[in-house]
């Protein structure tokens, strides 16, 4: 069975797939070593580790370099946080996906909002066409890629985020999305309504107040991403160690 087939099937088990979001080869190895069945990248963690802000500030070639290093040291399926696709047209995004596929990547996240001076939702019909064109382009090239469409109504704290999200789920499902990523979704009733509205796997992300894995499973969630949470926790601990080193004037706290 191919890694793509394994990854696809992980979304249709009796419990959610937990995505360990890595930012370099070693962090990916640690997730796999500890039993994670699928690895993802975190765009924010990768950008920060390279000295950039999130939001496609790194080059696509820089992203490819990190992805290649990760995929060279793991056997688990890898999905990549591609933000808005690193391309202004569906054709360019498909070219990017082809390059990722050649490395062995089996999935990507693609966002339905863009960042300028502020974050704005792409009109639903425009983003739906983008998804449809991407899926059509992949089909023509015979590339299998799990497209996880991220919708940002909750992230942006918009009025009536549930209604916005339900509309976009229907549209994106009709456009060929393989999964839906509802970032910053955590309320029980909203989760239940969203998972009941579609046969596609719904993805949530680590955040303060996110319910337990057991509850999320019961409410129909099929995928849980850690996002940049492990990265941020790791460097918070690193900061504490450095402060302790200075305070104690000793390296003992490092061991």
pTM of the model: 0.96
Q: What is the rounded distance in angstroms from the CA atom of residue 41 to the CA atom of residue 226?
A: 10
Q: How far separated are the first and last CA of the chain, in Å rounded?
A: 43
pLDDT in tens, 80-108: 999 999 999 999 999 999 999 999 999 99
How do the domains of the chain map onto residue ranges?
3-228
pLDDT in tens, 210-249: 999 999 999 999 999 999 999 999 999 999 999 999 999 9
Q: Which CATH class is domain 3-228?
A: alpha beta
User: Token digits for 226?
Assistant: 């850690």
Q: Report, as ranges of residue numbers, the positions in the chain whose pLDDT lies below 70.
A: none
Cα 103 → chain centroid: 18
3-class secondary-structure state, position 112: coil
């Amino acid at each position: 069975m191919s890694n793509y087939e394994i990854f696809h099937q992980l979304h249709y088990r009796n419990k959610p797939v937990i995505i360990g979001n890595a930012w370099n080869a070693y962090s990916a190895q640690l997730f796999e070593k500890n039993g994670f069945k699928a690895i993802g990248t975190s765009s924010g963690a990768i950008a920060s580790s390279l000295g950039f802000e999130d939001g496609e500030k790194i080059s696509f070639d820089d992203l490819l370099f990190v992805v290649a290093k990760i995929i060279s040291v793991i056997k688990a399926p890898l999905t990549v946080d591609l933000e808005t696709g690193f391309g202004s047209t569906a054709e360019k995004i498909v070219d990017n996906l082809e390059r990722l596929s050649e490395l062995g990547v089996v999935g990507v996240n693609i966002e339905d909002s863009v960042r300028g001076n502020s974050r704005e939702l792409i009109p639903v019909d425009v983003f739906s066409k983008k998804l449809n064109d991407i899926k059509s382009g992949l089909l023509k090239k015979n590339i299998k890629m799990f497209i996880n469409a991220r919708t940002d109504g909750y992230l942006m704290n918009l009025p009536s985020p549930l209604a916005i999200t339900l509309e976009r789920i229907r549209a994106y499902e009709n456009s060929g999305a393989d999964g839906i990523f509802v970032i910053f979704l955590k309320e029980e009733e909203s989760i239940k309504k969203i998972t009941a509205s579609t046969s596609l796997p719904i993805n949530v992300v680590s955040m303060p107040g996110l319910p337990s894995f057991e509850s999320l499973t019961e409410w129909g969630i099929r995928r849980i991403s850690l996002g940049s949470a492990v990265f941020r926790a790791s460097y918070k601990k690193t900061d504490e160690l450095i402060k302790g080193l200075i305070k104690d004037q000793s390296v003992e706290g490092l061991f």
